[in-house]
Each structure stands twice: as C-alpha cells, then as structure tokens.
Structure 1
Amino acid sequence: MSSGRKRTKADVCEAFVARLSERGDVELDSSLLEGIRQHFDRLPTRYALDVNVDGLDVLSHKRLLDEARADPTTVSFAVRPVEIVGPRADGVSSPHELTRANSKKLGQLCRPAFGSSPNLQALALEVGERAEGHEAEASSGPGPREEHPVFYEITIASVDQPKLLSRLSEALGDLGLNIREAHAFNTNDSFSLDVFVVDQWQPQPGQNLEELLGQRLLQMPPPPPKGGAAQQQQAVAAGPAPALRLPADPPPNLSMLAGPRPDSPAVDDWEIDITQLHIEAKIASGAFSNLYKGTYCGQEVAVKILKDVHDDSSQYQEFLQEVAIMRKVRHKNVVQFIGACTRKPNLCIVFEYMSGGSVYDYIRREGPLKLSAILKLAADVARGMDYLHQRKIIHRDLKAANLLMDDNAIVKIADFGVARVIETTGHMTAETGTYRWMAPEVIEHKPYDEKADVFSFGIVLWELLTCKVPYADMTPLQAAVGVVQKGLRPGVPANCPPLLGELMEACWTGNPASRPSFRELTPRLQHLNAMALEEEKRQLEAKPASKQGLLSKLRGK
C-alpha cells in the first residue's frame, strides 16, 4: 500500500485477516472471512482505524454484535481486566509495577481494544507517573505497599436507541465505576457497539462485576420494536388519504383526523388547521424528526415533523414539552412559534422560516468572521438566553447548530425539544443535551440550574471564533469524560482578544456559581462589540493614509 494513500476499512480488514492467518490458532473458513468483512463494512471507518488488530478484539466485537442481532431485545456484553501501558521517562512503554501487581491477581492482562485516543494516552501517562512514584516509595524503605487499581474494559452491543450512551454511562455509574475512556460506534444496520475503560470497582465479598452489570443492564428500557415505523405507515395508509405530501424518502404518511384523540391535548387556538399546511422541501433530518420548508395560510414557514413516535415514548413527551414552552415565548432573538398539530399521527410544530440557516452552517460557509460579527452574533444569543432565563426556561442544548439566522442576519435561538421550565427548587438533575457542549454538572447527573446554559454558551463562543467542532479528535463521550475528570476545555484560540478570552473562560469554569449570568454577559458583549467596531473603523481609515504615505516615500516626496 502506498504511503501517500490513507488507509481504508478494507485495508484494515485485510490486515486483520492476515494477522489471524499468521496466528494459526483461528480456523479461517469462508464463512468467518465473510463475517469479518461484513463486520468492518457495517461499522464506521473510525472503528477500523482505531481498533487493535493485533489481538482478537475484532472477533469479540463481532460475536457480541451477532448475539445482539440474533435477539434484538437483549443486551450483549463482555467484561475483562486490561493493562494500561504508560510511557516511562526513558520513552519506553511499560506496564509498570501497577499492572504487574494486577497480573499476579488476574493473570496475563490484555491491552484495551482502543488505545490511541487522547483520553487513554493521558490515562497511560497518569498511570506511568503513579507507578514510578510507587517504585520510588518502595525503594526508599520497607512498609505496606498500596493496592493498585484494576482497570476493566466493558464492551456492550445492542440495538441502537435514543440516549443509549447516557443510559449506559448511568448504569456504570450506579455500580460505582469511574469511566476513564469511552468509544461509541453505530452500525449501518441500527446496532450500537460501546466500549468503556473503567476503574474504581470496589466489590464486596462474593460480588462479581459481570453478574452485577448484567443485572443492572436488565433494568434499562427495552429497545423500540424493529419495524415499528413500517407497521405504523401501513396502518395509516389503510385510513384516510394523507393530507400532507412530504418530499421525503420514504415519505411519512400523515392523515387528517376528524378530531383530537383521547390521549392528545385539547384543541387550542394555536392548534393549526393542517389542510392549510403545505410542504415544499426537506431542509434537515434528525434522529427523531425531519425539518421541512413550507407555507401555512400563505406564510413561509418551517415545519418540524416527528418521526415514528409512540404514545408512551419520551419523544412524545418532549414534543408536548417543546410546544408548551414555544407557545409561551416571544422575543426578537427566539424563533417565533406559529402553531402545532398535537393530533396523532400528524405531530408537527410550525414556526417562522429562517432563511439564513443555522449559525453552524453560516460560520463554515463564510469562513473566519470579523471580531465585530462574532460579537454581534454572541450578543444576539445572550439577549435571547437572558429572556428565556427570566422566564425560568433552561434550553439545555445550546450550540451553533441550534441557532438560526433570518434575512437580516439576526440570530434566533431554536430547538426547544429538550428545554425545560426550572422547577421550584431552582435545580434539575436529568442529563440531556449534547456532550461536546454539556456542562460537567449535567454530565455527572448532579443538580444544575440555568448556569448550565452559560457553560454551553462559552463553547459556542469558541465555535464562533474557530469555525470548528469542539474536541473534534474525540468521540462525544470521550470529550464528556475529559471535561469531568480532566477539566478539559477547548482552550482560548490564539486569535481571541484577551477580554473575550476572559469572558469565555468565565463561562466554562467548573463552578456554576462562578459563571456570569446572561444578564451580565449581554452588556459586556455589547461593549466589546462597540470597541471592535471602533477598532475596525480606525483600521479601515488608516489603510488609505498608510498607502499614501508609502507612495509618497517611493516618489521621494
């Protein structure tokens, strides 16, 4: 293979097959070879490039996924102790005294299936430093030696489902396990492979980690039935003719019902007349809904239409919550709610159409922005968030992708699918949002308040300055582990003015009480914007003078 060409999944697959052949202890028949190739093909390229192909980890992952496919109602998992290899001062990788001590108790230990991520490299370095410290203590004199921690690798395969990662993380946390590393992969046939490296397992006499984990995983919500969407479409197709013709592939079937169903909210003045709603084109697609451009009573609108949703599903409750919140808010920097249909199966929300698209797309399309443009966008967001917080509403998923722009480049906050009204205690505990933007107290399932949105806003400021995704070299869960355990932050960009850098760091500080409120942030951003505009104006005015001065010198005047 040419050194100038990037490795592909097929390259890694063939390299793994070659290693298996060299081992001589695995019978490579045509069925197994085909299964291995299908395994790599179904998983993302990131899996192939990161997985350890020197051992039998790939076969273990394949077996677990095959078990999950054979019975999609179950969760297949495996637990094993692993060896964390850290670099010594001389640059040589060594398992150190730590893993040698563990080997006496547990036998020969394997390396983790994934050992190249920044989190695990940092863990290896930490282990190495700790082990060298123990060696120094041991050589300095006699005395009882500290018991070294044992690291375990937990691999879980199951049908992919909403919030699976957070549920698995919660399950491990309930057992007292500390997640040090995490990898999550989705297959192209809707299954999930999640691999965790954990420590701090402190068993009571007679306890077995594998047995306890199995019992805890049985408590997780069952996966949604396979084929549910197809069955629902067939049932709807047998009823009245669809009222909405959606340019989707395949198009969901929505029918006009005579009146509200018993389990739907009562008709209100914001309940739309679905015969007046016309869909033109799909704008975007998400895990639980699709977004369309359309018209309602002649007005250009955006329509969020939910996908397959069951009466008792959390997605249906989040839909009702989003409607309840959006119909109460009206602000220049919040997307305007027009109406909704809460009568199944036509679950949709209609709001003003934002022709400028998302800020996420805008900053990538326009490239690095002027400082004044960044601060203007940030001030728009801060004003909208201040309004929401005054109304006791926490957004909980603030990021550039959830910020939309109108014709005049005014930014408006959107996507209230996971937003919540602050409870009377002033704190909440449910984990939700997007890991890369999530505050550490939310990741850890601790009580949190509106300051969690301020943390996310700090990450949004970093997005605006860099036009990049935070922690792009990590999986979302790896980033979450780093934020909580290592104090990981994206870092202030080199092109960031000091005053804005200080503001950004204040937003993402670990202590929520130390973060500024949006009521404080808004005037500070407006002041910085005024300063930036003045400086840009000064530089613009100085350019012609500078050019004239240079020309005068060249002319000898």
Structure 2
Amino acid sequence: MTLKEEIGKGGFGTVYRADYFGIDVAVKHISAPGDEEDEMQEIFIRREIAILKSCRHPNLVSFIGIVEGSEKEGVQIVLEFLPGGDLGRLLFGKDHLGYYTRIKISLDVACGMAYLHSRNIIFRDLKSENLLMDESGRVKICDFGFARTFSKRYRPTTQCGTDEFMAPEIILGKPYDQSSDVFSYGMLIFEIITRRDVGKLIPRHVQNGYKVDESHLRTQIPSDCPKHFVELGLLCIKWEPKRRPTFIQIIDFLKKLMKVTPKD
C-alpha cells in the first residue's frame, strides 16, 4: 500500500488517499498517543475499529482493514475512498442544489443513523464534515472516533462532539441517549436548507440552557424551502429529548416528502 496526498485531518489522526493494489483507498493514520493521552485515545481508537468492523450499510463508509505498526508508528485504518469529498464542500459551494437533492441527502444520513441506532450505537459527532459523498452523490457517514454503544440501563455523560451541533443535554453534562444524535441531525438539516454555517445561523446561549430560538430561526429560512422540511428540522432540535422523532420516523417522513417534491 502506497500513501499519496493528505485528504483530511481529525482529532485522532490524518487521512490520506492511498493505492492498494491499483485501487484508491482512504487511510486514516493514527499516531501513537502521548503519555498524557494514552488511556482516553486508546479507548476511542479501539471503539472506532470495533464499530467499523461490525457495521455494514450503504450509507456508512466501508471498512477494509487495519495495518498495525510498532508502538511508535501507531495504527492505519484502511477505508473505501469516496471521491466526492465531504458534504460541507457541496453545501458551501456555489453549485445549484435543488430541494429534492437536499431531501435525498437528508434521507441518506437518516438511513445510516437508523442503522447505527438499531445496533445500539450513538454516533456523537454528526456534522457535514463527517459525511462523505461517492461518485453517484450517495452520502456516507464517516469518522467513528466518538461513536460508542449505549443501553437503556447506562447512558453516557461524556461531553464530546462539535459544539455547534451538540445537543443541550450533552453540553450541560446530563446523561444522554440516541436522541442526542437526532438533535445534531436537526442542526444539519438547517445547514442543508440554508447552505450556511450552522454555528453562525443558530446562536445558542447558556442563559436558556442552549435552547434554539425557533422564532429567530424561521426568519433565516429561504422562502422557497418546502414547509414540511423546515418543520422536520424543528422537531429534531426540540430541547426536550423525548419530543424528538426517531430516525425510523424521520425516514418515513422524508420518503413521503420526496414523492411530492419536484425533481431538480
């Protein structure tokens, strides 16, 4: 396997395009952790590898294998290469993007997330940078560094993810479950709808427990956006976790919405 150019960087490693017997692959190189980080980084890396090995779905990046070097060299995770880049590049670019395509993108993400939740996995870092596109435009979830399993008896309290997409209960240090991913998904929907950075689009503050100001948000929505698409996003970002829909419900809703939305 021959490493080529760098194509991405994350909290735990650098991603390269590589040649694997004539096939383009993505290689996530995770350097050996420093002394202070050893335990936590090791936990996240092992979780990521375990989840990648156990999961197979059209809307998840495909795992190919692992190359383990010496303790100093670290680990290389080999994944399928997706030439379309991340979703943010498409959203914040200038190419035309109709609402049918935007709804299809949202459906792809929901399908991948529904699969993860069916396997009792919380993703915990859903955002446009962690969504890659193949040559056909299909969206696939990548970077499982913060993903972990959950159960009804145990809910995590670890604060991790990306601030702009993070559910209020995570920021506030409360126990959370899979509905926290739904909140992040709702924030993603509004990034898809407006094609604007969600951190600037939806300011949140500690004074009201990081609740979204829905009235202000409505004023930022393009006038041509399908009303039901907006309402779905608002349901997903409810402050109370129990009021958010499941991804199975979201999939059903989006499939119906696609049937009544003109193709681009």
Report the TM-score when normalising by structure 1: 0.44
Query: 1:281 is matched with which residue?
Result: 5
| Residue 86 (structure 2) aligned to one of 340, 353, 358 | 358
**Partner of residue 53 from structure 2, selected from 308, 312, 327:** 327
> Which of 268, 292, 302 in structure 1 is aligned with 2:16?
292
User: Is 2:254 the partner of 1:525?
Assistant: yes
| 2:65 paired residue number | 339
Distance 1:483 1:294 in 2: 47
Displacement of 1:428: 1.8
CA contact (8 A) 2:182 2:236 kept: yes
- The 1:499/1:428 distance shift into structure 2, 3 A limit, reads same
Partners of 1:422 and 1:403 in 2: CA distance: 22
Question: How far does the alpha carbon of each residue in 1:62-94 deviate from its partner, in whole angstroms, 9 at most, with x for none?
Answer: xxxxxxxxxxxxxxxxxxxxxxxxxxxxxxxxx
The structural deviation recorded for 1:485 is 4.6
Matched, 1:472 2:200: yes
Distance in 2 (CA, whole Å) between partners of 1:465 and 1:289 is: 31
Q: Structure 1 CA distance, aligned partners of 2:100 and 2:57? A: 23
Q: 1:423 aligns with which of 127, 134, 151?
A: 151
Letter in 2 for 1:286: G
Q: Residues 486 and 527 from structure 1, CA distance in 2 versus in 1: closer, same or farther, beyond 3 angstroms?
A: closer
Structure 1 residue ranges (4+ consecutive) displaced by more than 6 angstroms after TM superposition: none
| Distance of aligned partners of 1:323 and 1:532 in 2 relative to their CA distance in 1, 3 Å threshold | same
How far 1:435 sits from its partner (Å)? 0.7
Q: Residues 319 and 417 of structure 1 are in contact (CA less than 8 Å); yes or no, is this contact kept in structure 2?
A: yes
SS of residue in 2 equivalent to 1:365: coil
Q: Give the alignment of 1:63-462 within 5 angstroms.
A: 277-310=1-34, 312-343=38-69, 344=71, 345-367=73-95, 369-423=97-151, 425-462=153-190
Shift of 1:530: 1.8
Residue 366 of structure 1 and its aligned partner are, at CA, apart by 4.1
> How far apart, CA to CA, are the structure 1 residues paired with 2:21 and 2:120?
32
Report the 3-state secondary structure (helix = DSSP H, G, I; strand = E; otherwise coil) of the residue aligned with 1:522: helix
Deviations 1:400-425 (A, max 9, x none): 11000001100001110000111351
Q: Which runs of 5+ in 2 are unaligned?
A: none
- Cα 1:436–1:295, aligned 2, differ >3 Å: closer, same or farther? same
Aligned to 1:348, what secondary structure does the other structure show? strand
2:162 corresponds to which letter in structure 1?
T
Tell me which amino acid in the other structure corresponds to 1:392: N
Distance 1:485-1:281 versus aligned 2 partners, 3 A rule: closer
Amino acid at match of 1:416: F
- Match of 2:93, SS state, is helix
Give the superposition deviation at 1:346: 3.2
In 1, the alpha carbon distance for the partners of 2:207 and 2:226 equals: 26
Q: Give distance in 1, aligned partners of 2:120 and 2:163.
A: 23
Task: State the shift of 1:457 in Å.
Answer: 0.4
1:378 Cα deviation (Å)?
0.4
Contact 1:440 1:483 in 2 (8 A): no
Q: Provide Cα deviations, 1:309-341, integer angstroms capped at 9, x if missing partner.
A: 136242222111100111100000000011123
Higher RCO (CA 8 Å, separation ≥ 6 residues): 2
- Taking a change above 3 Å as real, the CA distance of residues 499 and 479 of structure 1, as seen in their structure-2 partners, is same
> Matches of 2:186 and 2:157 in 1, distance apart?
21
- Cα offset, 1:454, TM superposition: 0.4
- Secondary structure (helix, strand or coil) at the match of 1:314 reads helix
The residue matched to 2:54 in structure 1 has which SS? coil
Q: SS where residue 417 of structure 1 aligns?
A: coil
* Cα separation, 2, equivalents of 1:419 and 1:355: 24
Per the TM alignment, residue 371 of structure 1 is displaced from its structure 2 partner at its CA by 0.5
The answer to which of 288-297 and 352-361 deviates more is 288-297
Which of 210, 235, 243 is equivalent to 1:514? 243
Alpha-carbon displacement from aligned partner over 1:499-553 (angstroms, at most 9, x marks no partner): 111111100001111100000000211111121136x6xxxxxxxxxxxxxxxxx
One-letter identity of the residue aligned with 2:184 = S
2:168–2:210 CA contact under 8 A, matched in 1: no
Q: Return the letter of the residue paired with 1:307.
A: S
Give the Cα–Cα distance (whole angstroms) in 1 for the partners of residues 194 and 119 of structure 2. 31
Cα distance change of structure 1 residues 371 and 473 upon mapping to structure 2, 3 Å threshold = closer
CA shift for structure 1 position 395? 0.4
For residues 155-212 of structure 1, the C-alpha deviation after alignment (integer angstroms, 9 at most, x for no partner) is xxxxxxxxxxxxxxxxxxxxxxxxxxxxxxxxxxxxxxxxxxxxxxxxxxxxxxxxxx
Identity, % of aligned pairs? 35
- The CA distance in 1 between the partners of 2:39 and 2:197, in whole Å, is 31
Q: Distance in 2 between matches of 1:473 and 1:380?
A: 23
CA distance in 1, matches of 2:179, 2:115: 14
How many residues are aligned here? 256
> Match for residue 209 of structure 2?
484
What is the deviation of 1:456? 0.4
